[in-house]
Structure 1
Amino acid sequence: FDYIVVGAGPTGIMTAMGLAKAGFSTLIIEAGTDNVSLNTTVPGLNFQSLEDEEIAWNYHVKHYPENTGKRQSVLYPRSSGVGGCSIHNAMIHVMANSRDFKQMVDLTKDEGWSEESFRKYYNRITFTDMMDVVPVMKVMNHFGPLNMANLLSPDLKLIDVIEQIVGKSLLTSFTSKGLNQLSEAGKAMTDIVGDMQVPYNADPIAHGGSRYGVREHLLEAKNLPITIWTNTLVSKVILDNERRAIGVEYLKGKHLYRASPRSSQSDSGTPGVVHCRKEVILSAGTFNTPQILMLSGIGDTEHLRQKGIKPLINLPGVGKNLHDRYEVSVNYELDSNFKVTEKCLYSTDASKDPCLKQFLEEGRGPYASNGILSSRLSKSSDNLEEADLFTLTAAAYFTGYRAGMLEDILNKKNTMTMLVLKAHGNNRAGKVQLNSKNPRDMPDINFNYFEEGADKDLPAIVKGIKDARQRLGSLNSGVRELLPGPQVKTDDQIKEYVKNTAWGHHACGTSRMGTDKMSVIDTKFRVHGVSGLRVADLSIFPNLPG
């Protein structure tokens, strides 16, 4: 092979396809399977996919230092398999903020990172098969068209709630022709303040409303020199005497990685080696890319020696700079169920679940939506130049990732949730370290919540919670606050609620791009001190975009 790409997530797949289209023979190595089911293809069952043991990788991360004893095992679900987390996520499709592009241009001195340049690439990967079938939704004036699916079926209570939360103008766009157009407020996406619909990646025409993403894009490609190895866990990158990456070592077998709930059923795997003529590209994600680097002898010398690994390249920034958005729930209970989801069982048995039956037969109904009703961008302070709060509204009960969350969604059909997300947070104190030198073991992951920037982030989240309370609390129908709860009143009490309940699921930064001693890669994605080795995934970003 010319190139080896480790990880079949969105970036890994698109990187491999770009190389293959240029004529290079490319091997994609994926630790998971190529498995799809109704859990992964039906938009309304996206929460079910989080507990699909065939693809699930369940990390349990720490939020605070071990000596605090606080929140030492918080579920952080990831997906293995071809497509990576794009086969189990909520399919939300939102553009990055203009500031994010500018930061990358300033860092790299490369206009290729500019927003204008990015749009050219974006237009290449946006799906266009709906252009002659339904109205094309264009974000701003030059974005590519986005495939859209219809929102939930008409429900008088739901319509009333949406109208009170987001206003009549946006409600009209929700209920007239489904999700084919954005409201005026939504045109510029993350560079504006206001309410908007949230587009998501599903294909209502060619694929009957099912999830559509990079996995399907890859498997539909013809005559490309791409080979895909699934059920193959990369254990290290092989470096020659010149510190050049020449291949990888791996273990072959299903569910080998111990994040999988089925790992106890697997054997130890069959070891192997594969070489490449040009480069190895790590696209294993924010947790696994630094793990592979450290297992390969690339990282903090002292830490590697502690774990019994011979240091080859001293890069102390590997695994550092871990950070995420803070996300917090505000939940309200209404006086009666939403009729549209009342009979939904969130099941994969269409003979018992009328909502699934409708989706499979018509591509419509509650399961044609990812469940997000609207979103709102707002500023936590009038002094800010741009929005820093993103609030999603859903007709469901959700309080973060934990055991039993699916039961709550199934049984609590009269609840509304607003998810308050703090964008552009100020904490970079998280880290990923090895637990052992066994490649099957998960690393030690600690986000060290609020260790940095708490004086800015906590008040901002408090403001977001207050705004969500005001909006949900003003509903005409009888409502009762479930969380944070009426007993949580003062700013200090809300801050404690945030510290005790916040979570995230967009981790980044552990192979940071830059030129300082704590950076891991240069502006061309090349790992410092090594030739023929690059990183291409969310771990490269110094700051979480979006």
Structure 2
Amino acid sequence: MHYRLLSFITASVALQATYASPALSPEVYDYIVVGSGPGGGPLAAELARAGYPTLLIEAGGDEGENPTYAEIQHFNEAANDEATRWDFWVKHSDDPEREAKFEHTTWDTGDGTFYVGLDPPEGAKYLGIQYPRAAVLGGCAMHNAGVCSLPADDDWNIIVNKTGDTSWEAKNMRKYLKKIEKNEYLLPGNPDHGYDDASWAKNESLSQTRILKKIAELTGQDPKKAAELVSRDILEVGDDVDETVSFYNMAFHATAKGERSSPNSYIRATLADPAGYPLTVKLHALVTRVLFDNATLIPGSTPRAIGVEVMTGPSLYRADPKHVPGTKGPISQIYAKREVIISGGVFNSPQILKLSGVGPAEELKKFGIPVVVDLPGVGENLGDNYEGSLLGIASSPTNNAGQITLLFRTPNAPTKKRNIYAWCGSFSFEGFWPGFPTWYGNKVYTCALVHLAPKSQAGSVKLRSANPQDTPEINFRFFEHGGDHDLQELVEAANILREAWKAAGEPMAPIEELHPCKGPVQPGSERCSDEEQKEYFKLQAYSHHASSTCAIGGDDDPMAVLDSKFRVRGVKGLRVVDASVFPVVPGAFPSCPTMMISVKAAEDIIEEARRTDKKL
């Protein structure tokens, strides 16, 4: 397997003494960054390395030396771990009847346990669909599977089209990938491709090799080159790369030894550096609102962010399963001489803005929050990849089956560009719920699907109350726009992969499919229609790549929250830098793209600061 290591090298040092504790006198920094994930972590480190005193605030603790988080193979355990998990309970639609059919609906039994399913015990409290996030130094990059994938060029260029800022052109954004990675697998002198031991793909007697070659045939690839293609660099460069159907080798933000490389690593390295960079990290601190200067009281003036209000203590947010109702912490105010940067993530960044008076005026007034600036786009435009899987039980163990990764185009794709990211192997993945995934034994075989460029971004993140400890109301409104076409794309992808399963032969065949079509997969077998599969995906699709709730947009867009330099419209000294800034869902996996924009934001902010300093 190929790996890429972000250049955020882990520091082997105990850092507890470095973390700031609540101070009696006012704290003042040049920059305050709220949130240490892929957006905020690299950004705070870069600002400090440029010489600016920077405070990085994180609501969770530090698990950088905990093997559950440090070793990427334990990502399922990390995502389930109560030590860092924040549970958001979301909806997929406004239709209660449809919601009630989601097979992994979760309920609170009242005895400290969850029930997952459609037949809850009497008295159980409905929670919804689990969407776990990570409250920990390094954010969700500390509990994810570490997959590194790039958006299509169009996903970058849309920002150019909206704002006129050519620094967002896809060809320019590539340099930020180079800045965050330390490549460990490409051969010297070869800038585009990686190579690995894929000897299994050359063994014609293996069932998985026959599946591989059949997929190649069905997707327009050369079956004779399949063994060669499985080692192709998934982050390759090329003018037509977004239209290239091919097998690839997955890239991860991890070392070749499987050690997780994340913002945590870079933060720790920055703190431990002998250069003594001015970075301070405050853990177990929940930001309750952004503070603005008195200009908010002067009609016609532009408010400026001057700091944040913080509640200090562990497990203060109600998404934390360890939260004790009624628990609060001491409140303090911390000030920024230059800027406040919100990097709380797709759910928490819009929540913090709204609690601070930045958002849709009517929603803020509903909760008695004074309006600083009416920005109707805050919390809107929520989007995500649709995900699903073709899962079955083979006739023999599959634990030695080589992994197949491919990007391809279904026959009904709306453009020439690829619309499906898939990977097949001996694993089960069906979404998230407490205790996921289901263990089906050593004969399980799955092809997981990620739908690229979903046509609907109709979801929202809305306040539940004015209490910063409450979680917001989150509704993705799956398939609200263009849903029928998206569903058919998922079905056609499943049909292609199922057809390839029929070529498995002994010893894997026949494979007993569990979903979306129940029954044995074998030549001549057709068990369910496209319409039945569309209904399955409509009810059971899941997601974990949320984006776009504080979207960048043009001056003429009333729903734009940010300009192209991440600045919140209508105020000064306030930016947002995380996956919420993308106008559209960025490719198949947002972790690496978010780290890339984090470094871009640092470059923009530092350039602006130095330009301002020269004028003084």
TM bin, normalised by shorter chain, reads 0.7 to 0.9
* Offset of residue 340 of structure 1: 4.9
- Rate the CA distance shift 1:232–1:489 in 2: closer, same or farther, 3 A: same
Whether contact under 8 Å (1:185, 1:196) holds in the other structure is: no
Match of 1:79 in 2: 134
**Residues of 1 paired with 2:154 and 2:58: CA distance?**
33
Asked if the contact 1:379–1:386 (Cα under 8 Å) also holds between the matched residues in 2, the reply is: no
Structure 1 residue 394 displacement after superposition: 3.0
* Cα separation, 2, equivalents of 1:137 and 1:18: 29
Change (3 A) 1:184 1:64: closer
Provide Cα deviations, 1:300-323, integer angstroms capped at 9, x if missing partner.
111112123222211111101111
Which AA in structure 1 matches 2:34?
A: V
User: Which whole-Å CA distance do the structure 2 matches of 1:154 and 1:468 have between them?
Assistant: 17
Whole-angstrom CA distance in 2 between matches of 1:87 and 1:184: 22
Which piece of structure 1 moves more, 276-285 or 302-311?
Answer: 302-311
The alignment status of 1:438 with 2:467, answered yes or no, reads yes
In 1, distance between residues paired with 2:87 and 2:372?
31
Deviation at 1:474, TM superposition (A): 2.6
Q: Deviations over 1:351-377 (max 9, x none)?
A: xxxxxxxxxxxxxxxxxxxx9642332
- Does residue 394 of structure 2 align to residue 334 of structure 1? yes
Contact 2:386 2:542 in 1 (8 A): yes
In structure 1, stretches of 5+ residues that fail to align are 175-180, 342-370
CA, structure 1 residues 517+149, in 2 after alignment: closer, same or farther (shift >3 Å)? same
The Cα shift of 1:378 comes to: 2.1
Alignment counterpart, residue 226 of structure 1, candidates 279, 285, 304:
279
User: Residue 427 of structure 1 corresponds to which residue in structure 2?
Assistant: 456
- Contact 1:390–1:420 (8 Å) recurs in 2: yes
Residue of structure 2 in register with 1:316 after alignment = 376
Select which of 159, 163, 168 maps to 1:113: 168
- Alignment partners' CA distance in 1, 2:145 and 2:244: 22
Matched, 1:460 2:507: no
Amino acid at match of 1:483: H
Question: How does 1:8-157 map onto structure 2 within 5 Å?
Answer: 8-36=36-64, 37-65=66-94, 67-68=96-97, 70-71=99-100, 73-128=128-183, 130=184, 135=187, 140=192
Where in structure 2 are there 5+ consecutive unaligned residues? 1-28, 101-126, 214-222, 296-302, 520-526, 588-616
Render the CA deviation track for 1:98-143: whole Å, top value 9, x for unaligned. 2222212212212211122212222121115x47xx84596638xx
Match of 1:533 in 2: 574
Taking the aligned partners of 2:68 and 2:356, their CA distance within structure 1 comes to 35
Taking the aligned partners of 1:493 and 1:394, their CA distance within structure 2 comes to 25
Contact 1:301 1:316 (8 Å CA) reproduced? yes
Looking at structure 1, the residues matched to 503 and 538 of structure 2 have their Cα atoms a distance apart, in angstroms, of: 26
| Mapped partners of 2:80, 2:399: distance in 1 | 26
- CA distance 1:424–1:481, shift in 2 (3 Å): same
Q: CA deviation at 1:284?
A: 0.7
1:204-227 per-residue CA deviation (whole Å, 9 max, x = no partner) reads 2xxx43111221122112121111
Query: How many pairs does the alignment contain?
Result: 498
**What does residue 353 of structure 1 align with?**
none
Q: Which residue of 2 aligns with 1:161?
A: 208
Aligned residue among 290, 299, 305 for 1:237: 290
Deviation of 1:184 (Å): 9.5
Residue 300 to residue 382, structure 1, CA distance change in 2 (3 Å):
closer
Structure 1 position 42, deviation (Å) = 2.1
The 2-side partners of 1:139 and 1:416 are apart by: 34
Q: Which amino acid aligns with 2:512?
A: R
Match for residue 109 of structure 2? none
Q: Does 1:197 pair with 2:249?
A: yes
Contact 2:210–2:504 (CA under 8 A) maintained in structure 1: no
Letter in structure 2 aligned against 1:25: P
Q: Does 1:523 align with 2:555?
A: no
Q: Distance in 2 between matches of 1:42 and 1:219?
A: 16
Q: Percent identity over the alignment?
A: 32
After superposition, residues 368-517 of structure 1 pair within 5 angstroms as: 373-381=404-412, 384-406=415-437, 408-409=438-439, 411-476=440-505, 477-478=508-509, 479-486=511-518, 489-514=528-553, 515=555, 516-517=557-558
Separation of aligned partners in 1, 2:191 and 2:393: 34
After superposition, the Cα gap between the structure-2 partners of 1:154 and 1:390, relative to the gap in structure 1 and judged at 3 Å, is closer
Does structure 2 conserve the Cα–Cα contact (< 8 Å) formed by 1:380 and 1:387?
no
Letter paired with 1:171: A
Alpha carbons of structure 1 residues 219 and 459: separation in structure 2 relative to 1, 3 Å: same
Q: Using the alignment, how far apart are the partners of 2:42 and 2:336 within structure 1?
A: 19
Equivalent AA in structure 1 for residue 287 of structure 2: V
Counterpart for residue 363 of structure 1? none
The answer as to 2:257 corresponding to 1:216 is no
How many Å apart are 1:33 and its aligned residue?
0.7
Shift of 1:505: 0.7
SS for the counterpart of 2:346 is helix
8 Å CA contact retained: 1:235, 1:251: yes
How many Å apart are 1:246 and its aligned residue? 0.3
Maintained 8 Å contact 2:55/2:281: yes
Change (3 A) 1:158 1:272: farther
Measure how far apart 1:172 and its partner are: 5.3
Give the conservation status (yes or no) of the 8 Å contact 2:35–2:342: yes
SS of the residue 1:528 aligns to: coil
Whole-angstrom CA distance in 1 between matches of 2:206 and 2:135 = 37
**Structure 2 counterpart of 1:10, one-letter code:** P
Whether 2:309 is the aligned partner of 1:276: answer: no
Superposed displacement of residue 191, structure 1 = 4.3
Asked if structure 2 preserves the Cα contact closer than 8 Å seen for 1:61 and 1:75, the reply is yes
- Relative to structure 1, the CA distance from residue 279 to residue 113 in structure 2 (aligned partners, 3 Å threshold; closer, same or farther) is same
The farther-off stretch of 377-386 and 525-534 is 377-386
User: Which letter maps to 2:45?
Assistant: M
Which structure has the larger Rg over C-alpha atoms? 2
What does the per-residue CA deviation read over 1:425-480, in whole Å, with 9 as the maximum and x for residues that have no partner? Answer: 11121100011111111100001111111132122111112112112233113211
- Greater shift, 498-507 or 66-75, is seen at 66-75
TM-score scaled by structure 1?
Answer: 0.85
Hey, what's the Cα distance between the residues in 2 that align with 1:423 and 1:382? 10
Give 2:227's aligned residue. Answer: 171
CA displacement at 1:538 relative to structure 2: 0.9
Deviations 1:268-316 (A, max 9, x none): 1221110010000011111000000010011111111212322221111
Which secondary structure does the structure 2 equivalent of 1:105 belong to?
Answer: helix
The answer to whether the 8 Å contact 1:165/1:472 transfers is no
Deviation, structure 1 residue 266: 8.7
SS at match of 1:203: coil
Q: Does 1:302 align with 2:349?
A: no
Matches of 1:401 and 1:45, distance apart in 2: 15
Q: 1:9 to 1:339 in 2, by over 3 A?
A: closer
Greater mean deviation of Cα atoms: 71-80 or 442-451: 71-80
1:482, 1:209 → 2: CA distance? 31
Distance change (3 Å), C-alpha of 1:190 and 1:214: farther
- Aligned equivalents of 1:419, 1:490: Cα separation in 2: 20
